[in-house]
Structure 1
Amino acid sequence: MFLSRVEIDTKNRRKIKELTHLGAYHNWVEQSFPDEFRNPIRLRHLWRLDELGDKQYLLILSKNRPNIEGMERYGIPGSAQIKLYDKFLAQLETGQQVQFRLTANPTYAAYQAGERGRIYPHVTITQQLEWLIGRSELSGFHIPQLVLQGETNSITTRAFDIISRDHPILKKKNSKNIRVSRVTFEGKLEIQNLTNFKNALLEGIGREKAYGMGLMTVIPER
């Protein structure tokens, strides 16, 4: 597995003029793996967009090594970085606490008799936070509570929060444009089931994984 990153050339408006919707970013990711176009079965690539300070990055998790030129198609030349991910995964342990970031599409299914469940986005911040908590056990982790000591008493608060929410456009062929609920979570978690947790890192969490959702990254606490 490879975890790759490239800085998007946001100052070159002419260069990135096509990046107006999630489908365009999806195509950029796919074109970063030219050898896979020859195979009848295409591999899934998890990806997300990150903002760090005044810079924007495309982050990709993939089984195969991406093509540098493909990654820098809309990126700053020389900014692409590709790292082996397997060695990092091997260092994770049950009971370990890590800092995490996850961009996801929090949704729920509403069922009616005789019909397939319709998918709806969670709308409020509370619903979106609870969505991630509800996913945590199946994904092999626990989000602890933090106890803050005040002047007169202690305050219990959650160890994660939402750092951004928006509704980017998703364009698909032969379909009308839609807006997708995109939420980025950040905070602290504890690994409880190592196998399930690694699977969540590699397979993603939630829906719309092809369009920049589901990728969780973690940094172990020292």
Structure 2
Amino acid sequence: MYLTRIYLDPRRRGCRDLVASSQRLHAAVLGAFAPGARREADGQRVLWRLDELEGRRLALFISSPVAPDPAALVEAAGWRTEGGVTTRRTDDFLASLAAGQRWRFRVTVNPTYRSAEERDAKGRKKVLGHVTVDQQTRWLLDRAPANGFRIPGAAELTGDVARATDEDGTVIEIDEPVISLVGRDLQKFRRGDALVTLQKATFEGTLEVTDASLLRSALVGGIGRAKGYGCGLLTLSR
């Protein structure tokens, strides 16, 4: 697997046009691979995520089974300078993951649920997006075990404990998970005759590896829905 980071220049019109549409950016990412070059086997697939950095800088991350050729992306929207693109092979890093390790993480997801009342045109339970901060945060926390990690609490990491008072006046300690929702976005676009509504939520925090095999699968295959539209890519750092 490969992880590529491309700095985009928001002063350029090509960049502004790309980032304004998940569909256009999706097409541009796929265009960085030769036809037939995207080997999506053993759960591996092309994933991407657009991050807004300090100083209004933009970074496009692409995880892929083969290394991309981002020349067209850079020509249209990137920085034509040394260091504007970096690509690293991640196989050794993935192999080194082990239970008990702790990492900083960042992920953009599409938190959804199936409605018990609403049905789609085929009679299936309709997929709807979670809209509140609490719902979106709970969605990720609930899926952590199946993806090989857990989110430690603040008391465990720093010794800090939040305190609250219940209805009887008793002081209780609350150990909140170390996770922050740092970005939310609602996008609407047409795909054929259908109107697609996409809720995106970007999280940062600290995770602990509980099952290295499951976490590797999450890193190469993504988490949740809308993976073709900038969701699902989990990245780790020290």
TM-score (norm 1): 0.88
The partner residue of 2:63 within 61, 67, 77 is: 61
- 1:38-97 deviation line (CA, Å, top 9, x unaligned): x39874410010011020111100011111313413211131111111122122211111
Q: Which moved more, 1:115-124 or 1:149-158?
A: 149-158
The verdict on how the C-alpha distance between 1:216 and 1:15 changes in structure 2, with shifts beyond 3 A counting, is: closer
Paired residue type of 1:183: A
- 1:140-186 deviation line (CA, Å, top 9, x unaligned): 111111121589996522211201111133342x2344331010011
The verdict on how the C-alpha distance between 1:42 and 1:146 changes in structure 2, with shifts beyond 3 A counting, is: same
Deviation, 1:7, is: 1.0
- 1:105-160 deviation line (CA, Å, top 9, x unaligned): 00001246994221000111111111011101110111111121589996522211
1:70 aligns with 72
Paired residue type of 1:90: A
The verdict on how the C-alpha distance between 1:22 and 1:87 changes in structure 2, with shifts beyond 3 A counting, is: same
The partner residue of 1:94 within 89, 93, 99 is: 99
CA contact (8 A) 1:105 1:182 kept: yes
> Identity of paired residues, percent?
32
CA contact (8 A) 1:102 1:186 kept: yes
Structure 1 residue 190 and structure 2 residue 176: aligned? Answer: no
TM-score (norm 2): 0.82
The verdict on how the C-alpha distance between 1:157 and 1:15 changes in structure 2, with shifts beyond 3 A counting, is: closer
2:230 aligns with 212
The partner residue of 1:131 within 124, 127, 139 is: 139
Unaligned runs of 5+ in 1: none
CA contact (8 A) 2:147 2:217 kept: yes
The partner residue of 1:80 within 79, 85, 93 is: 85
> What is the SS of the residue equivalent to 2:127?
strand
> What is the SS of the residue equivalent to 1:95?
coil
The verdict on how the C-alpha distance between 1:40 and 1:29 changes in structure 2, with shifts beyond 3 A counting, is: closer
Q: CA RMSD in A?
A: 2.5
Paired residue type of 1:212: G
Q: Which moved more, 1:143-152 or 1:113-122?
A: 143-152
Unaligned runs of 5+ in 2: 164-170
